[in-house]
Amino acid sequence: MSARRQELQDRAIVKIAAHLPDLIVYGDFSPERPSVKCFDGVLMFVDISGFTAMTEKFSTAMYMDRGAEQLVEILNYYISAIVEKVLIFGGDILKFAGDALLALWKVERKQLKNIITVVIKCSLEIHGLFEAKEAEEGLDIRVKIGLAAGHITMLVFGDETRNYFLVIGQAVDDVRLAQNMAQMNDVILSPNCWQLCDRSMIEIERIPDQRAVKVSFLKPPPTFNFDEFFTKCMGFMDYYPSGDHKNFLRLACMLESDPELELSLQKYVMEIILKQIDDKQLRGYLSELRPVTIVFVNLMFKEQDKVEVIGSAIQAACVHITSVLKVFRGQINKVFMFDKGCSFLCVFGFPGEKAPDEITHALESAVDIFDFCSQVHKIRTVSIGVASGIVFCGIVGHTVRHEYTVIGQKVNIAARMMMYYPGIVSCDSVTYDGSNLPAYFFKELPKKVMKGVADPGPVYQCLGLNEKVMFGMAYLICNRYEGYPLLGRVREIDYFMSTMKDFLMTNCSRVLMYEGLPGYGKSQVLMEIEYLASQHENHRAVAIALTKISFHQNFYTIQILMANVLGLDTCKHYKERQTNLQNRVKTLLDEKFHCLLNDIFHVQFPVSREMSRMSKIRKQKQLEALFMKILEQTVREERIIFIIDEAQFVDGTSWAFIEKLIRSMPIFIVMSLAPFSEVPCAAANAIMKNRNTTYITLGTMQPQEIRDKVCVDLSVSSIPRELDSYLVEGSCGIPYYCEELLKNLDHHRVLLFQQAETEQKTNVTWNNMFKHSVRPTDDMQLFTSISEGQKEVCYLVSGVRLNNLSPPASLKEISLVQLDSMSLSHQMLVRCAAIIGLTFTTELLFEILPCWNMKMMIKALATLVESNVFNCFRSSKDLQLALKQNVPTFEVHYRSLALKLKEGLIDEEEAIFSKSELPRKYKFPENLSITEIREKILHFFDNVILKMKSSPNDIIPLESCQCKELLQIVILPLAQHLVALEENNKALYYFLELASAYLILGDNYNAYMYLGEGERLLKSLTNEDSWSQTFEYATFYSLKAEVCFNMGQMVLAKKMLRKALKLLNRMFPCNLLTLTFQMHVEKNRLSHFMNQHTQEGSVPGKKLAQLYLQASCFSLLWRIYSLNFFFHYKYYGHLAAMMEMNTSLETQNDFQIIKAYLDFSLYHHLAGYQGVWFKYEILVMEQLLNLPLKGEAIEIMAYTADTLGHIKFLMGHLDLAIELGSRAHRMWSLLRNPNKYQMVLCRLSKPLFLKSRYKHLVQVLGWLWDLSVTEEDIFSKAFFYFVCLDIMLYSGFIYRTFEECLEFIHHNEDNRILKFQSGLLLGLYSCIAVWYARLQEWDNFNKFSDRAKHLVTRRTPTVLYYEGISRYMEGQVLHLQKQIEEQAENAQDSGVEILKALETLVAQNTTGPVFYPRLYHLMAYVCILMGDGHSCDFFLNTALELSETHGNLLEKCWLSMSKEWWYSASELTGDQWLQTVLSLPSWDKIVSGNVTLQDVQKNKYLMRVNILDNPF
């Protein structure tokens, strides 16, 4: 039975019938239109309160959290219950009118008495339903019911394509009046219904001063059997299911296929519904909260009682309304009798019907309908209300009976305006603002209190859309503000200045055309151009703005331009215009032809006989000739610049005149226009192709320009980085989009402002670590102050989720216009792609739409790419560039060009190694010397590389690592999708994955942001005691700690790590007593693990996950404790390192164990335990030798070579660091991992730099540059420029110029990766400061030194930080030299502080010995400046010894020159470094042999010491 029922429901005719009442489905109507049919029956009008308010709540909701879906669920939950009751009691649902419905019980007149009783019973049961159900969404849903009975007339009307029906008569008027009298939960009987009912069955309550009555309850006699009574009554109903069909709610559910009936029924159903049925889409697909324009038309008739007369008037009106709406893609949604009149509910913007300029078209249609219907002699009054905004559009009702309807406050406002402002076309303020029509098309109306509308805002009368010459009203639409700069359009203004200069010099016509989509700021550009043009003498700028209506007005553009040229725009009266005109044209035009100007300029010259006989064409020619003469005369006196905004609305005749004009005389025309919607006329085409025309397509604003705009718009000196990302991505670089997004944020009150605090030390917490990181460019600071000296900063309300905010209605409208222009299949594709996110792959989209075949999908995607809906990118470089330029990016095929296999960096005599298999279970012989072990290690890595090259298919991945792309196009969309589905547990997992991945990629800010998302989700979870949630909290704190560690916030990091370890049941001691005990325990554990050759059994999954997390925490802890040189801290550091070792050994995982061995070795290296570190490095190699050469093991080997090279560099073993680094470089290159590859290149460059191996250094820098460009990797590029600055400062030649390095810093210092990688930015700022200090440009020095100073406090135990801090300290030492030279009072104190800071750096365990020579060199210089020659000798000799031991040729050479210089009698001139800088050779000169490396080595900065004999 159920299969049969499903088969019936799937039939198209059944689906169509579900949208129609039985009255239509089974009706037998005359084909004539209109046709009339009369019958008797009972009407029920049910009004449901609360839905409009609910719709408003969802439409203005802050977040996009399934609003339309929830609304449909709630609506249908209630309405379907009512529909089901009505159908069970034999009723026929005639119409759904928003949140109300009209039902009919059609019977013969003699049955009305009994049927009224049935309908009352049904009404009371409906009320019972709502009393039993609890209100949803905090809204109290209640119903009011009115009943009427009597004679009813049905009117069917329409045209060949669409039919509509109405029920008319006293009963229809009565039922509406009865419902209006009802209060909540009332049932009101109309007077006629009360007369016809069985009064003995009904208990009523009288209504004062009314003949209608209120039903209290039914009071049947004791012997009354309602079931028998009901069955008897239903026997009189024609289409009530009975017998075999009694289980069906409607007989229409069982309609058999009937093509003729189906075609007949289709005419009553809207086209979008028929499409939905044809495409077999779910009903919910059409339900959405959608911006539309409502046009409510009400017709009041002269002869109310005559149905035939009313019918013909309604028919005439309907045919005209349908024809008008069809032109602009509007549709009639409902027709019903409303307060003694007939009302048409017309809607513009239904799904699939959204069009540009919708509001203008709606107003134009409304005026047309008003004009036509006002002429129909049977219609007394025409009233039209137009309102725009978001409403619910969707299918409402039951599965067997439903309709497509609109519900919302805007529907109510349109209806109320229609009734409260009769006889005119009225509109709300949203329609007025959105029409973009001149204000003189409207008149503001007095406010009225309208029922059911709290605050409609201003109401306007639309006076008509026929453009008139309104002198003085056609100026440019936007205003220019002195305090508001034109942002991001420097190049566009330069085009104008260049073209204007050319025009003034050559005396030839010039046309400058700016094309741009709406919202690109064309009007602002023209306003700036008008201002600039008006600043010059001897020429005159005439600027006008056109509207959509201008296009349809013949010669309108020239009419307005000439009015301005002739000065008529300032005349207050037509007589003044007439006098001015007479004076200007008396020598150019015979007086009898002056009347030619009457219609053009609204003057009243006498009409001559000659003029009255002229044809229209001849009049036009005469007029054009006159205008030409006037312009020729004007041009001889002064140059003219015509500026036309919205030039796509220039009419054809005006285009033709302009085309003649530029050929006839020198004139400069500047236009802005949107792309033509249709092929432009021949004259417009000719102008665009003219050789004197410059055609410019406006582009989008760049991210920094959007940032500047936001700061200027908000008058703030900084905005949150999260807000910056949201606006840059959401605006796509379009100024209007940015403004609308800002307005939306302001509407939802998520922006907070407060006075900018003066820079001072504040307690850093997790919540304020990344606050207010984005500032406008320096030249915008002037425009971001609220008053002189006062600045505000912008904050976000706590907990706001920007990425899930509902878009503003204006932007939703724009996107829907584009979406609705597509086919339904393309719409589906775009919607699914949007769910994935900003970027997606074809494969991922295919997974979401498995019913599509790949060929079909590729074809559809190609079409969407051609129409600029999607963009297709085939390389990571193109993708990243597009993302940075705010271009929407979609299909990606990532292939990295930077990871081509390159030769490793080794000496020219490359050794040939054996290709034999590596031995298994290998252990190093105990009698090997250190040199032999070194050779064996290097030999091992060489064998691995040969194996990788000889068996690439087994070892090397087929394509590059795609971590960044996976994060953007897979992980992030999944996380956001799961949040939308409220699956917070799963979403949390993905956000933690995102945070972890971004930490690996060096993006601390993104990691911070996604941890914030994770924290919000974590707090929403309820099952707090579960193991998984405890582990998630531990993971969360450990990732937080890593972010804090990277940001140099060690106190916070330590706090987070302790929390994580506590959650993982691994307490870390807080005092020396527990420290001693724990140390003893861990030593015993380590001894046990080291003596245990094999471990039995595998570690359970949960336990293993905990161990990995514990090891990660301990790895950070020992580094944090090593930063502090207090005596007892080294014991905490030692314990943490040992606990990491033990935890890793417990995992039994090779990579974890090797990583722990390397960490333990590094710890002992830095702590000065000479014998211990060597043991663990041997253990690392033994572990590696026992791994198979495949899969993960290869990555472990590459990681080991890289890390060992890094350790050797830190310890000053530069040659070995280069050997290991070059092998790691080749391995990561073969493994195609861009992140690891760039890291090894950065690490390799430093020992090469210190060894002065410049040929190989430049080779590495070349690879690093290629990688940074191809992968769009900012870290690689920043490190590249850091090394370039080092080369200039210390190596004595130029690889990239200082200006290029400085420009890079200026453009990228706010980059989120660099800004929160303190070491690298510290190094860049400090290098620039040192450069300026050497040149004694102290203002520039202070600027960059201060920036560096803010980063010094972010102490991190990393090479980058120590590279940066050593340069920073050099800058401070040079500044000390200046202080001593100037005999500053605090010079000695500064010297003592600098010396103490340098000694502290050397004393820290985390400072590698490789930095000691530079630090001792600086200490020696401070000592000699302060007159301490003994200490200077000690530090200088120590530095020289270390340089010799390390093989640090760069520092050794500089130290030798310093020693020779400081103890010589020579004097150093102040400008010696300036002379050196001017003569620094480029690398190309060195390569060509014009300059030798020996000469280059002499280009060292010599620190001056012979300042005073006794400085203190």
Q: Are strands 668-673 and 510-515 parallel, antiparallel or unpaired?
A: parallel
- pLDDT of 266: 93
Give Cβ neighbours of residue 1129 (< 8 Å, ≥ 6 apart): 1121, 1122
Using a pLDDT cut of 90, give the percent of the chain over it: 34
Question: Is the predicted pLDDT of residue 1435 greater than 70, yes or no?
Answer: yes
Hey, which bits of 507-660 come out as E strands?
510-515, 539-545, 639-645
DSSP 1240-1271: HHHHHHHHHHHTT-HHHHHHHHHHHHHHHHHT
Query: In this predicted structure, which of 821-830, 939-948, 1022-1031 has the lowest mean pLDDT?
Result: 1022-1031
Query: In this predicted structure, which of 96-100, 572-576, 935-939 has the lowest mean pLDDT?
Result: 572-576
Cα(33)–Cα(284) distance, integer angstroms: 34
Query: In this predicted structure, which of 18-22, 1018-1022, 1208-1212 has the lowest mean pLDDT?
Result: 1018-1022
- pLDDT of 917: 37
Residue keyed to tokens 């004197």: 692
No. of H helices and E strands in the chain?
Answer: 62, 24
Q: Based on C-alpha coordinates, what's the Rg of the chain?
A: 42
The kind and range of the H/E element at 882 are helix 876-884
Question: Is the predicted pLDDT of residue 2 greater than 80, yes or no?
Answer: no
For residue 224, what are its two tokens? 């009354």
- pLDDT of 700: 87
Contact 504, 543 (CB under 8 A): no
Residue 704 to residues 777, 877, 1272: CA-CA distances in angstroms?
A: 8, 20, 17
Neighbours of 128 (CB within 10 A): 12
Which candidate, 310, 285, 295, places its Cα nearest to that of 366?
295
Cα(978)–Cα(992) distance, integer angstroms: 14
Which candidate, 1455, 1410, 1405, places its Cα nearest to that of 1435?
1455
pLDDT band at 84 (very low <50, low <70, confident <90, very high): very high
Cα(578)–Cα(601) distance, integer angstroms: 9
**Which of 1094-1118 are b and which e, b meaning 16 or more Cβ less than 10 Å from the residue's Cβ?**
eeeeeeeeeebbbbbbbbbbbbbbb
Which candidate, 1078, 993, 1483, places its Cα nearest to that of 1284?
1483
Angle at 1103 between CA 1102 and CA 1105, to 5 degrees: 65
Cα(902)–Cα(896) distance, integer angstroms: 14
Cα(14)–Cα(8) distance, integer angstroms: 7
pLDDT band at 740 (very low <50, low <70, confident <90, very high): very high
Model pTM score: 0.73
What is the per-residue pLDDT across 1048-1074, written as a single tens digit (0 to 9) for each?
888 899 999 999 999 888 888 888 888
Question: Is the predicted pLDDT of residue 105 greater than 70, yes or no?
Answer: yes
Query: In this predicted structure, which of 128-142, 355-369, 707-721, 963-977 has the lowest mean pLDDT?
Result: 128-142
Cα(1120)–Cα(1048) distance, integer angstroms: 10
- pLDDT of 908: 31
- pLDDT of 968: 72
Cα(186)–Cα(146) distance, integer angstroms: 8
Give Cβ neighbours of residue 1370 (< 8 Å, ≥ 6 apart): 1326, 1330, 1414, 1418
- pLDDT of 1218: 94
Neighbours of 980 (CB within 10 A): 15
What is the per-residue pLDDT across 1329-1340, written as a single tens digit (0 to 9) for each?
999 999 889 999
What is the per-residue pLDDT across 717-728, written as a single tens digit (0 to 9) for each?
888 888 888 898
Question: Is the predicted pLDDT of residue 959 greater than 60, yes or no?
Answer: no
- Amino acid in the structure at residue 668: F
Cα(505)–Cα(69) distance, integer angstroms: 65
Residue keyed to tokens 């085409």: 685
183 by DSSP, 3-state: which? Answer: coil
Cα(487)–Cα(783) distance, integer angstroms: 12
Cα(587)–Cα(1061) distance, integer angstroms: 98
What's the distance, CA 1144 to chain centroid? Answer: 42
- pLDDT of 864: 84
Question: Is the predicted pLDDT of residue 1431 greater than 60, yes or no?
Answer: yes
1159 by DSSP, 3-state: which? Answer: helix
What is the per-residue pLDDT across 612-658, written as a single tens digit (0 to 9) for each?
888 888 888 888 888 898 898 888 888 889 999 999 999 999 999 99
Question: Is the predicted pLDDT of residue 4 greater than 60, yes or no?
Answer: no
Q: Are strands 459-462 and 442-445 parallel, antiparallel or unpaired?
A: antiparallel
- pLDDT of 6: 52
626 by DSSP, 3-state: which? Answer: helix
Phi and psi at residue 118, to the nearest 5°: -60, -45
DSSP 933-968: HHHHHHHHHHHHHHHHHH-HHHHS-SS---HHHHII
Give yes or no for a cis peptide into 34 (omega within 30° of 0). yes
- Amino acid in the structure at residue 393: C
What is the per-residue pLDDT across 1305-1359, written as a single tens digit (0 to 9) for each?
988 887 878 888 768 999 999 999 999 999 889 999 999 999 999 888 888 888 8
In this structure, is the dihedral angle defined by the CA atoms of residues 1308, 1312, 1318 and 1319, taken in order, positive or negative? Answer: negative
Cα(101)–Cα(87) distance, integer angstroms: 13
Using a pLDDT cut of 70, give the percent of the chain over it: 87
Contacts 24+ apart (CB under 8 A), 1462-1467: 1462/1424, 1462/1432, 1462/1503, 1462/1505, 1467/1506
- pLDDT of 910: 31
**Which of 363-395 are b and which e, b meaning 16 or more Cβ less than 10 Å from the residue's Cβ?**
bbbbbbbbebbeebebbbebbbbbbbbbbbbbb
What is the per-residue pLDDT across 395-440, written as a single tens digit (0 to 9) for each?
999 999 999 999 888 999 999 999 999 999 999 999 999 888 888 8
What is the per-residue pLDDT across 894-926, written as a single tens digit (0 to 9) for each?
222 333 333 333 333 333 233 333 334 456 666
Question: Is the predicted pLDDT of residue 471 greater than 70, yes or no?
Answer: no
Q: What's the whole-number mean pLDDT along residues 346-369? A: 92
